[in-house]
A and B are shown apart, each in its own frame.
Chain A
Amino acid sequence: MTLHDALSGALPARSADPRLSGIIKLAILAVGGQGGGVLTGWIEDLARSNGYAAQATSVAGVAQRTGATVYYIEMAPHRVGDPMPVFSLMPAAGDVDIMIAAEMMEAGRSIIRGFVTPDRTTLIASTHRALAVSEKMMPGDGIASSEEVMAAAGIAAQRFIAADFDALAIANGSVISAALFGALAGSGALPFDRAAYEAAIRASGKGVEGSLRAFGAALDVAANPVAETAAPKPKAAVAEVIGPARLRAAWDTLAARVAALPAPVAEMALPGLRKVVDYQDIAYGAEYLDLLATVLVQDSATQGWALSREAAKYIANAMAYDDIIRVADLKTRGRRFDRIRKEMRVKETNLLHLTEFFHPRAEEIVGLFPAWLGAKVEADPKWMARLDRLFNKGRRLRTDSLRAFLTLHLVGGLRFWRRRTLRHAQEQAHLARWLQTALAETARNYDLAVELIRCRRLIKGYSDTHTRGQSKFDRVLTATAQIAARPDAADWCRRLREAALMDEEGKALDGAIATIRSFA
């Protein structure tokens, strides 16, 4: 008997056992600490108490330690006495019926791993983000794009159910596992009714009421998906300006100047104006608009006023630099106290203690000196060391106590003094230099001027961070100057800025500068 005979005789090729289609394969991708194990337990109980054989597995181990974790469940209808089905211990690409992702990037990971396929998979995903360390530690904006994952999910999944199930759970005093269980119920992907799900929650016996609330809320959302409206969020209504009539009148004059600006510029100039007036006073606001006007005269509608719009943004940021006066002012405002009470859920019967962490250095103290004196002191290392001995240490201030509050309140009230300080002089000089450098390019290379204006983004933070930002800013501007004559200078300037925001030490920036040197 040949092989062929043996096969064709004894073994006609068959299609899969029709009963196999009864196996439901469900995978959960979660971040450690999200209760993936609890959710798995509920689903298992649900299946078993409804006449199904079920098997769950996980690769726990370091699951609680914030890593990504997979849980996997298979179930099939089962009569008592029948042999047990043979279930797999791990999800296979292209062979998952229901994929639950407890976070948006985990949804992305499930797609990468092939667990979401258009022929069969219902993808239930929570759209909230639990940012990975790599996203958080970048000096710039390292947050991964949820939109890309949403778009991919739309293609990869047969059905895609997405909502912020985390927020839903918190709003109902529970945790995300309960909300995802509700979403699963709402999806109708399992052949069990609502009561069966709720029975599984009750049987677990822990935090039942909260879990049931979150479950119900999520079930409603998943069962009645509202088409995600593409319409932009309604702009938060701009709060009315309140204050003494004299100041309000002065404000109205300034606001009228803004209204007269080209629309794209005005859009940025109004928040800019608010920022600088809030930072200092009406006169400072007028200075801001005057500065902006010097940019505007070199700009035109043909370029969409891009230069002025960016200038409106970054001049405001530059003028509202971070100094002790600013911090003390912000820290002592009544509105802040109200916000914290709300955020910390302080009840009427509770008290709130507030501790602030300050660590002023000699530089900050000298910054408050009159410019002429400050400059002298700053140039004298002996004096700086003396000041450091006096001031440079960590200070914890209880802003709910009178002494600490009064101290900060007084410092916050030094706005009248600010214009005379060394720091102000330094910031003004820096601002002027930067604007001049950028505007000098307007005629030759408008786009480069815009990019140079945007480089102000690099300067932020306090102490070391601020110094590092300044240095990056200087290096980007210097490197740009070397290639300013090239037609693609604007593009290079943007690349340099983006590189500078990649890492703390500026390794990426060094690399980019080395590239420029190679052809400059």
Chain B
Amino acid sequence: MAERSFKAEVEHLRKGAGETFTGEGILAITKALLENGVGYVGGYQGAPISHLMDVLADAEELLGELGIRFEANANEAAAAAMLAASVHYPIRGAVTFKGSVGVNVASDALANLSSSGVNGGALVIVGEDYGEGSSIMQERSHAFAMKSQFWLLDPRPNLPCITKAVKDGFELSEASNTPVMLMVRIRSCHVTGSFETRDNQRPTLSVKDALSNPQSDFARVVLPPMSFAHEQDKIKNRWPNAEKFIRERGLNEVFGPKTVPVGLVLQGGMYNGVIRALQRLGLADLHGATEVPLYVLNVTYPLLAAEFLEFCEGKDQVLVIEEGQPEFIEQQLTTYLYRAGSTVKLRGKGILPMAGEYTGQVMLDGITAFLKEAAPQMLPALVRAPNEDKPQIPDLTKTVPIRPPGFCTGCPERPIFAAMKLVQKETGKLQISADIGCHLFAALPPFEIGGATMGYGLGPAANAAFDGGGERRPVAIIGDGGFWHNGLSSSFTNMAFNKSDGVAVIVDNYYSAATGGQDIMSSRADNPTKATKHPITKALKGIGIDWVRQVDRTYDVGHMRDVLREALTTDAPGPKVIVASSECMLNKQRREKPLAAKAIKEGRRVEAPRFGVDEDVCTGDHACIRLSGCPSLSVKKLDDPLRDDPVASIDQSCVGCGNCGEVADAAVLCPSFYRADVIHNPSKWETRLAAFRARVIGWLQARRAARRLDFGGAA
């Protein structure tokens, strides 16, 4: 089950002709898939496309009615491989994952698919995780389209255009026997808006029916000599067919007057940003009617030479607005101009920055600079000769602290890294490699554990050079998501086969947590359509790893530290693997909080734990925070002239996970923490016992208080 329920959104998916869908871009794409007769959908979750997977996972019933197969693939490679169904059968298929990382993983299958070519429309929906909010390396999925020769759509970021791109994508794929990648950026996935819906379409041929009439054609197999024929087919047939389709259907758009001697060439995804810059310059109106001609590339690969040259006719200069690098589009268009012997001056990177996101300011600065040179008369006087008279705003960059993401309140991964920090105090610094997932937050303060990440499922593989061991063992960390994604084969069989002497810690939080809490093989939940509850330890034993320790409560910091220490020091040969399991607190709270509230209401006994700090005992050293970083554990300044430093303090959001107490114990910190368990609806016997205790305790307290001075403030 994902973090959120998408039952409400599923209802939107049922909308028919003439109705209006209002919501997020990624959900609009999901709806468009159904409207275009998709026969199967798959993918691997990850921001910003997780919602597509989540909503379809909640839409089993609707998909069943339409005869659509939905698959939560093991990883992106598996998802892309699923598109093989469209190679022979005229079935439309779509898969989704995040780019560029997901495309990296999928690239083997995508390359084979592109060589074979497709019969049914094959659509790859990629959420391009680039710019602000991105959690990955900054690269472009664009390069994959170029190397494997599949087509790349980059539609204008509004719901009607994005959903139209889904339709265009399937048709383009079929017209050119080539898979099509639909690229949507983070903000386009989360942008809200409306579009008019159409009726959902059953696939003309369902995957079930296809199984009744299996097909095969060795001409499609990537083996010589067919593979050579595939290459020729790409160039001689598929490419021209694609160009023809793009041209005839007008997938790219031209806006603005024809006669102006300057123009802007842009990726579809840049359109709103460009219009905003033009609006601010007085060159476009509210609805985007522009005074500067625009050539909007809703298809960014292939680029159509004829169409581009036509746009350039009569122009002196054009500016290519292409986000990311290298500047593939700009290079290609330059070649087109050169080959055509054109004198049109093409500008691009240089006026605009080579690297980084094209924010509002970047776009405004770039277009202004271009027009200042190429057509200064178009600009309002104020822009041409700006009147710099801005008030000096104090520089706060040294004041405001950075706020990177971190472990949630009560996260079960926190105590694992607290234990690891304690172990490193004994052993000295260890070689630690990390993987992809929430656990990577441990690389940041206060833990600063793990120096590198090489990709999903590759944590232990990234330590392979150290497999031979040394004075101290290397440690690798990997999540349960990474373990099932790719880790079992790439990391653990690698360790087992090479008789690694290393230690691997598998952080098992019952979900693919960082991507939104989707179920995986080892999830503990009942899932009607997926096989869950397969212990990771069983898989490890299966590949011949014998030294495996299962920790069922990561919050036991002392135990966690002891197990780590054992793994680092044992004489046992081969890989040493620790499976540290406790449920993701975010998901646990979502599930249990309403249940607890209901139980209290119904009069059942409920214990609600929370931690607190005795501020008089706390001396304000913050050692506890350096082993925690929990959002609910903060510091506050006391109203006491004798105290210099703020003391620890725990706020209402504490979920009583226990890390504070465990750390205070394991690291021998101060005794200022206490746990308060509030018992709702206690039993009669309990209440009586508590009343008796309170009487005795109260008497003792009163007796002592009467013999000393009471200053009111203390304790």
Contact = CB atoms under 8 A, between A and B. Distances in A.
Contacts of B558: 394
Interface stretch (A194-202, A212-220, A341-349, A423-431): A341-349
A461 B670 contact: yes
A49 B119 CA distance: 46
Given A92-B360, A351-B682, A355-B675, A247 B708 contact: yes
Given A3-B375, A132-B403, A90 B273 contact: yes
B286 A112 contact: no
A87 B360 CA distance: 12
A457 B644 CA distance: 7
A130 B403 CA distance: 10
B134 to A, nearest CB: 8
Contact of A17 (B279, B400, B586, B621): B279
A92 B364 contact: yes
Nearest to B185: A89
A60 B715 contact: no
A469 B406 CA distance: 29
Interface in A152-170: 152, 155-156, 170
A108 interface: yes
A491 B621 CA distance: 24
Given A20-B286, A134-B445, A353-B676, A460 B260 contact: no
Q: Chain B's interface: helix, strand, loop or mixed, by majority?
A: loop
Interface string A120-164: 000000000011111111111101110011011001100000000
17 contacts: A56-B192, A60-B48, A62-B47, A62-B133, A65-B438, A90-B132, A90-B359, A133-B629, A141-B645, A143-B646, A144-B399, A239-B712, A277-B709, A345-B678, A354-B674, A464-B623, A465-B621
Given A133-B406, A155-B394, A139 B622 contact: yes
Interface residues of B, number: 144
Contacts of A355: 661, 674-677
B426 interface: no
A313 B377 CA distance: 71
Q: Which of B364, B617, B670 has the most CB of A within 10 A?
A: B670
Contacts of B637: 141, 143
Interface in B599-627: 607, 610, 612, 614, 616-617, 619-623, 625-626
Contacts of B667: 464
Contact of B135 (A61, A141, A278, A405): A61
Contact of A8 (B188, B377, B607): B377
A186 interface: no
Contact of A278 (B190, B279, B394, B709): B709
A14 interface: yes
A207 B195 CA distance: 30
A189 interface: no
A247 B709 contact: yes
Nearest to A10: B259
Interface string B327-347: 000000000000000000000
Contacts of B286: 17, 19-20, 22-23, 76, 85-86
A70 interface: yes
A113 to B, nearest CB: 9
Given A64-B586, A70-B133, A462-B669, 6 more contacts: A11-B257, A65-B514, A66-B403, A141-B637, A400-B693, A462-B670
Contacts of A118: 391
B665 A357 contact: yes
B135 A62 contact: yes
A52 B667 CA distance: 58
A413 interface: yes
Interface string A1-41: 00110111011011111011011000000011100000000
B678 A346 contact: yes
Nearest to A71: B190
B679 A93 contact: no
Given A92-B361, A105-B401, A133-B406, A59 B190 contact: yes
A399 B694 CA distance: 10
B572 interface: no
A140 B621 CA distance: 7
Interface stretch (A224-232, A328-336, A439-447, A506-514): A328-336
Interface string B672-699: 0111111111100011001001101110
A205 to B, nearest CB: 10
B377 A65 contact: no
A58 interface: yes
A13 B708 contact: no
Contacts of A378: none
Contacts of B392: 155
B400 A344 contact: no
B361 A114 contact: yes
A83 interface: yes
Contacts of B406: 65-67, 133
A385 interface: no
A316 interface: yes
B514 to A, nearest CB: 8
B393 A278 contact: no
Contacts of B629: 133, 136-137
A501 B453 CA distance: 32
B106 interface: no
A269 B694 CA distance: 37
B402 interface: yes
Contact of A138 (B622, B639, B693, B714): B622
Nearest to A469: B621
B192 A14 contact: no
A56 B191 contact: yes
Interface stretch (B63-71, B378-386, B484-492): B378-386
B693 A33 contact: no
Q: Which of A31, A70, A244, A330 has the most CB of B within 10 A?
A: A330
A356 interface: yes
Contacts, number: 435
Contacts of A376: none
A421 interface: no
Q: Which of B129, B259, B621, B693 has the most CB of A within 10 A?
A: B621
A95 B275 CA distance: 14
Given A17-B284, A33-B631, A137-B626, A86 B665 contact: no
A475 interface: no
A381 to B, nearest CB: 19
A359 B645 contact: no
Nearest to B288: A86
A301 interface: no
Nearest to B708: A243
B380 A14 contact: yes
Contacts of A419: none
A427 B191 CA distance: 64
A61 B48 contact: yes
Contacts of B702: 334
A401 B394 contact: no
B704 interface: yes
A148 B396 contact: yes
A255 to B, nearest CB: 11
Nearest to A415: B708
Contact of A89 (B187, B279, B400, B621): B187
A350 interface: yes
Contact of B276 (A32, A88, A402): A88
Nearest to B129: A61
Interface in B254-273: 257, 259-261, 271-273
A313 B640 CA distance: 11
Contacts of A239: 711-713
Contacts of B712: 238-242
B220 to A, nearest CB: 38
B451 interface: no
Interface in B182-230: 186-188, 190-193
B711 A274 contact: yes
Interface string B619-663: 111110110010101110101111011100000100000000100
A317 interface: yes
Given A86-B272, A239-B711, A349-B681, A17 B686 contact: no
